[in-house]
Structure 1
Amino acid sequence: MAVPAVLLAALVVAGCHPSAATGSGAPSGHAAPPATVSAAAPVAGGRIPVGEGPQKKYTVRQQPAAGSCHYRYEHGEPLEDRTCNPGAVSPAVTQANLATTICRKGSYTGGIRPPASVTGKEKALNAKSYGYTGPMDQAEYDHLISLQLGGDPNDPRNLWVEPADPGHKAGAGVNNAKDPVETKLHTAVCSGKITLAQAQKAIVTDWTTALATLGIG
């Protein structure tokens, strides 16, 4: 539908492109100028964005502007910036196909994980987004909604540089308490104790309280 002349003028004055009003998705492709993506607004109605899903060939995705993302801390743990990282789910994983995707025997995540040649570059860019200046080998380029919970493999809304847990000894490798939470949620989903949507919502709301919220020990 054509944009009325008056509205078009208003968009131009506001520095917006008419296509931005159509709700187009996050930009994709190589991290060429501009090397940033606009920070996503808080998820309307609690709905988690849907990414592109697994790709045959992954490319380096653009990241939020340097210094535009800020860590939060809950129960002493570093959490993602909800505006930069609202999470993103993979359209390839649904409640109906759990048995053939994340709950099937064998490694589902290994076959869809982007290569280090891609995520390494994204991690460096995302560290600038968050202003992270610590040792890169002590931080995890983390899927907010993990791959084993149907998270999108390479959507920038679902990936962030997660610092090591407070008190973690330098040189001891990455250590994040979020990882066992993801595993317990995955087990609960595959056993039918909770739904995929419940697990995904809990992890993006606050992974430090996800298990308690869903009644998982």
Structure 2
Amino acid sequence: MRALIIIGLASCALLLLVLFIQPVPASTGGVCQMRGLLPDPLCTQGVTNPNVTQSNIHSTICVSGWTTTIRPLVSYTNALKQKQMKEYGFTDSINAHEEDHLIPLSIGGHPTDPKNLWPQPDAAPNPKDAVEGQLRAKVCSGAMSLATAQQRIATNWQTANN
């Protein structure tokens, strides 16, 4: 009986590995999977902008309009969106997605690194935008460190402000 239980547990563990360890990163030709409203952490980890640091936030992200100076061209993000939509398995219209920065530019996300961009299914208004604004306000007021805000939103934007 004990052997059957162990075999059963091993089978369950194997099933969990198959379900949750896949997909493999897109860089190896794998498939990305949405996690509800969250991007696949194997494909879209979030990357920070090395030019934004805690010591220079008041001359970068805390300056109104600063993100417009580093925002990538639509031609770049649309081409990347088409590629990533295939990696995520989306077959609907490109217009049904926003190529979004996981770590937003407003809290020091990398503007062009594909590991910081993903084809977020479009929602109007985008609920992630409110979280981004709240985190930026906390960082700029000193209530939260830049690194903490970046880590929280890269981990789970839905709970980043808690």
In 1, Cα distance between the equivalents of 2:95 and 2:44?
21
Task: Go from structure 1 to structure 2 and tell me whether the alpha carbon gap of 1:66 and 1:128 turns closer, same or farther (over 3 Å shift).
Answer: farther
Per-residue CA distance 1:84-122 (angstroms, 9 max, x = gap): 111100000000000110012x31110111111111111
Matched, 1:154 2:102: no
Amino acid aligned to 2:135: L
SS in 2 for 1:137: helix
Matched, 1:144 2:102: yes
Greater helix content: 2
SS in 2 for 1:210: coil
SS in 2 for 1:72: coil
Give TM-score scaled by structure 2 length.
0.80
> How far 1:134 sits from its partner (Å)?
2.1
Tell me how many residue pairs correspond in the alignment: 139
> What percentage of aligned pairs have identical amino acids?
43
In 2, Cα distance between the equivalents of 1:70 and 1:119?
20
In 1, Cα distance between the equivalents of 2:30 and 2:125?
24
> How far 1:66 sits from its partner (Å)?
6.2
> How far 1:82 sits from its partner (Å)?
0.3
Matched, 1:113 2:81: no
1:197 aligned residue (122, 139, 147): 147
Matches within 5 A, 1:1-217: 39=25, 64=27, 68-73=31-36, 78-104=37-63, 106-165=64-123, 174-212=124-162
Contact persistence 1:67–1:130 (CA under 8 A): no
Equivalent residue, structure 1, for 2:19: none
In 2, Cα distance between the equivalents of 1:207 and 1:195?
16
> How far 1:140 sits from its partner (Å)?
0.7
Per-residue CA distance 1:31-67 (angstroms, 9 max, x = gap): xxxxxxx83xxxxxxxxxxxxxxxxxxxxxxx74666
Structure 1 gaps of 5+ residues are: 1-37, 40-62, 166-173, 213-217
Structure 2 gaps of 5+ residues are: 1-23
**CA RMSD between the two structures:** 1.7
Task: Go from structure 1 to structure 2 and tell me whether the alpha carbon gap of 1:118 and 1:102 turns closer, same or farther (over 3 Å shift).
Answer: same
Per-residue CA distance 1:137-185 (angstroms, 9 max, x = gap): 22110000000010000001100000134xxxxxxxx432111100100
SS in 2 for 1:117: helix
